[in-house]
Amino acid sequence: MAQAPAGLPPSRGRFWTRTLAVEIAVLAVTPLVLGVVVGFWQINPVASAEYAAVGSEAHLLLEGFPDDRLVVEIAYQTTVGPPPGPSVATLLSRIHETCQKSVVQLDEHAFSSSQSSFSESQILTLESHVRQVWPTWGTMSLFYLYLGGSDSSNPGTLGMAYRGSSIAVFAGTIATASGAVGATAVTTTVLVHELGHELGLVGIVGYAPNEDPNHPYHSSDPSDVMYWAVETTAISRLSGGPPNQFSAADLSDLTTVKKTFIYSEVIPWIVLALVGVVAGYLLVSQQRSLRR
């Protein structure tokens, strides 16, 4: 039988003992419950789609820990078909060159839609319906929405990274803008260019000396796949053709990205720690008042 602490009346001592036991149990379970909530937040598809900004998941894409497997999902509109095989092969090569993943898996599938113009809100809705693979424990995912139409807000856009692991490619615009360059070459450049944005290039995460001051988050080097003109119809005017490789400056920038602190990755854990500290403080304060 539990004994009342010295100096307390028996009834008050039993109350103190029961209260302490309950509160210790609550304090022990609280971090576990919050940890589950934090984990759910990080892998929940809705949270990822709605709140993960471009570049915010760069570490999860680049590093082998905690996600050693990467699924590259390409959902393509049936009216346009899948992206060209050589373009996808080059994309996978660039992923292997930059991301430390033991397994990179390609998942291509079609979806039926006759739509030819897309707003960002429509793209988000479409993604929620057709995306099949979301980040889970040990597996990161990169989603490409390959559309036969164009961006309704900017018809000259060839592609855009719009969330932390989500990219839209406007094959309809590419087809009309590629000219003599060829749709395959332009598609390759756009696929790799938008990957670069998701990896935190150029200046999206950290600081990049090769950033063009007139075109934020883009390179000033026309031979760099991160060059500002490659995601618009201006790509057809590049004298050297569409680039599809990351420059030496980009690869150096990736080293900086890996070392840069991304606040969104740790905010849930900071909240968890603060809740634990507050709960512990309240527990100690209450027990001290009961002892008096």
pLDDT, position 235: 87
pLDDT, position 10: 54
pLDDT, position 271: 66
pLDDT, position 263: 64
| Range of the structural domain that residue 172 is part of | 52-200
pLDDT, position 46: 46
On whether residue 217 sits in a domain, the answer given is no
Q: pLDDT tens for residues 132-168? A: 998 888 899 999 999 999 999 999 999 999 999 999 9
Neighbours of 192 (CB within 10 A): 25
Q: Domain holding 120: CATH number?
A: 3.40.390
Instruction: Specify the amino acid at residue 171.
Output: A
On whether residue 22 sits in a domain, the answer given is no
On whether residue 114 sits in a domain, the answer given is yes
On whether residue 274 sits in a domain, the answer given is no
Q: pLDDT tens for residues 194-236? A: 999 999 999 999 888 899 999 999 999 999 999 998 988 888 7
pLDDT, position 11: 53
Task: Compute the distance between CA of residue 159 and CA of residue 167 in angstroms, rounded to an integer.
Answer: 7
Task: Compute the distance between CA of residue 65 and CA of residue 161 in angstroms, rounded to an integer.
Answer: 23
On whether residue 206 sits in a domain, the answer given is no
Neighbours of 86 (CB within 10 A): 12
pLDDT, position 65: 87
Instruction: Please give the tally of structural domains in the chain.
Output: 1
Q: Please identify every stretch of the chain with a pLDDT value under 50, giving residue numbers as ranges.
A: 1, 12, 15-16, 43, 45-49
Task: Compute the distance between CA of residue 204 and CA of residue 90 in angstroms, rounded to an integer.
Answer: 23
On whether residue 250 sits in a domain, the answer given is no
Distances (CA, A) of 69 to 96, 106, 193: 12, 11, 21
Element (H, E) at 166: strand 166-170
Decide if 139 contacts 146 (C-beta within 8 A).
Answer: no
On whether residue 193 sits in a domain, the answer given is yes
Task: Compute the distance between CA of residue 15 and CA of residue 32 in angstroms, rounded to an integer.
Answer: 26
Instruction: Specify the amino acid at residue 241.
Output: G
On whether residue 266 sits in a domain, the answer given is no
pTM of the full predicted structure? 0.78
